[in-house]
Amino acid sequence: MDLIKLLKKSTGHGKSFKSSIPQFYSSFNAACVDLTGNVLKIVYGKSANDKLTIHGAESQKFGDSPDEEISRYLATFFSSHKIDAERGVLFVLPSKAFILKNVDIPSTDRDEIAKIIDLQAGRFTPYSRDEIVIDFLCMETANQYYTSVLLVIVNRKVVEKYCVIFENAGIGIAKIGIISEGVAMTYGDMAGAEQEQHSVGGIHVSDDSSDLTILDKHQIIFVRNIPVGREHFTTDQASAEADFLDELSKSLTAYQNQGMGRPVKLIMLTGRIQGMDFLQETIRNSPHFTQDPDLRIRVVDPVTPFTLTEEALKTLGNQPAASYFEVMASLAFAQTTKIDLIPREIKLKRHFREGGREIITLGILIMTILMIISLFLASKLYFKSTLAKKLDEINQTTAEQAQLLERTSTKNRVVHRLLETRGKGLYVFDKVSALIGEDMYLSRFVYDFKGKIVIAGTADSMSRVFAFVTQLEESNYFTKVKTKETKSRREGKSDVADFELHCTLAEGV
């Protein structure tokens, strides 16, 4: 089965999830789901000012082969409670579903440690590398050339199964963690300043088993499942006590022998321990407690460490047969837990999908900018074309009007000139005639609008012609008097002189 296809929908239908969980619940509803066997537990809440408030919890038991039924139940539950499934939920694996291994890696570089673990993963389990999903926590120790590493190993088929369930429910998985990590953080939070002095452990009692979890320096370092639970105590208390103490002793001895972490001085007891006051006394009388007077046990109410609404408290009160401590702890510390068992290829798929989405977004942005620029240029060209068209129309109208005005002006100038020169020719002829006596007569008289005058005629003698020229010049009416042509001839018994004179009418006349 292609795991990428299985998780395609369970990774949030293509929506990206940040590798850091601080954005996990933001201001939206958040949910943590635990599926142990056929028992489903859901805790959902809401955060405000980085503080989680649990709004409700639900537990449901299913029959054999319940996968499809669980998917339908999850879809209905998330829809009816209006939980934001697309943002993804935190899914936690119970201690029975994973393997913890403490190993020493000869390196202090995290990237190098990851490569070594990836190459040697087959050494730590009976499965091949392709059959498991693995993550790890580094135990920070100063002045060492090696690193103590806590490996978390889970069968890939288990991950595939859960992913199919959530995929069919239409719910995205934001993170696949282990339930023990959130529980360890809760134990440390309740221990307060004590965890700075020594390791802190906790025992959570469930129906069919119990979990011993130990943390040191704010980090989980040991988890052991004890196959004795509430059902065993209620069925055969004496036998269950013996088996429980034997398994607890083996677990504490195994922790001491692995040489990791400081000695445990405080163990908290919680879970389904209502009506089991004897268990605290039984544990206190065990060999490890009698041999170490500093080792203490503290009973913790499974609800006290968390902030719940009144409705949530009422819901938990109506379900005395269910313990939500582990699920609430996982949700409360979803921001700080580090284990994520979503396979590496799925993380790469997300990374490429997010990168592709960013490229698509950038492409859309560029296309939008280009479209806006194109629209701007097109509108600019349109307005310029419209303006040019209007200017052409105005120019054509103006040209026609200008031509009309020019024709009118020309007519006016002609009329004005006619009016100015009307009668001037007669006036000039009168002045010329006044200078002519009986000894001269004119054969031609020409006067134009420019004031040029042509006078042609015949005089009794040539001297008379010259005298006439002198008269014209001295009359102050004419200038530039020139004799163009003179010719003597005989007319009858007398000699006469023909002449042609050119002159100009004086200005102001």
Q: Are residues 321 and 449 in the same domain?
A: no
* pLDDT over 80 (residue 169): yes
pLDDT at 382: 92
* pLDDT over 70 (residue 105): yes
Q: Are residues 327 and 463 in the same domain?
A: no
pLDDT at 87: 66
Angle CA 178–89–317, to nearest 5: 80
Pairing of strands 29-36, 39-48: antiparallel
Q: Are residues 334 and 435 in the same domain?
A: no
Among 297, 324, 342, the domain boundary falls at 342
Average pLDDT in the 112-119 region?
A: 86
pLDDT tens, position by position, 235-257: 999 999 999 999 999 999 998 88
In a domain, 51, yes or no: yes
Q: Are residues 200 and 304 in the same domain?
A: yes
Average pLDDT in the 407-434 region?
A: 81
Contact 474, 484 (CB under 8 A): no
pLDDT tens, position by position, 205-238: 998 899 999 998 888 989 999 999 999 999 999 9
pLDDT at 275: 86
In a domain, 391, yes or no: no
Q: Are residues 172 and 299 in the same domain?
A: yes
* pLDDT over 60 (residue 167): yes
Q: Are residues 233 and 89 in the same domain?
A: yes
pLDDT at 142: 64
Residue with structure tokens 């100009």?
504
Which tokens hold the place of 386? 């419209």
pLDDT at 10: 41
pLDDT band at 269 (very low <50, low <70, confident <90, very high): very high
pLDDT tens, position by position, 177-190: 999 999 999 999 99
Number of domains in the chain: 2
pTM, two decimal places? 0.65
pLDDT at 86: 64
Q: Are residues 336 and 437 in the same domain?
A: no
pLDDT band at 421 (very low <50, low <70, confident <90, very high): low
Put residue 36 in one of left, alpha, beta given phi > 0 → left and psi -120 to 50 → alpha. beta
Percent of the chain with pLDDT over 90: 28
pLDDT at 244: 93
Among 342, 363, 388, the domain boundary falls at 342
Mean model confidence pLDDT for the chain: 84
Q: Which domain CATH number covers 70?
A: 3.30.420.380
Q: Are residues 328 and 438 in the same domain?
A: no
- Structural domain of 466: 424-505
* pLDDT over 90 (residue 447): no
Residue spans of alpha helices (H) in 258-295: 277-284, 287-291
352-361, 366-375, 440-449 — which is least confidently predicted? 352-361
pLDDT tens, position by position, 326-335: 999 999 998 8
Average pLDDT in the 149-167 region?
A: 89
pLDDT band at 141 (very low <50, low <70, confident <90, very high): low
In a domain, 373, yes or no: no
Among 342, 358, 387, the domain boundary falls at 342
Name every residue whose Cβ is closer than 8 Å to that of residue 55 and which is 6 or more positions away in sequence.
29, 44, 45, 46, 308, 309, 311, 312
Angle CA 109–113–116, to nearest 5: 140
Q: Are residues 135 and 243 in the same domain?
A: yes
Q: Which domain CATH number covers 460?
A: 3.30.1360.100
Contact 44, 81 (CB under 8 A): yes
First to last CA, the chain: 122
Q: Are residues 331 and 197 in the same domain?
A: yes
* pLDDT over 90 (residue 30): no
* pLDDT over 50 (residue 389): yes
* pLDDT over 70 (residue 19): no
In a domain, 41, yes or no: yes
In a domain, 369, yes or no: no
* pLDDT over 90 (residue 500): yes
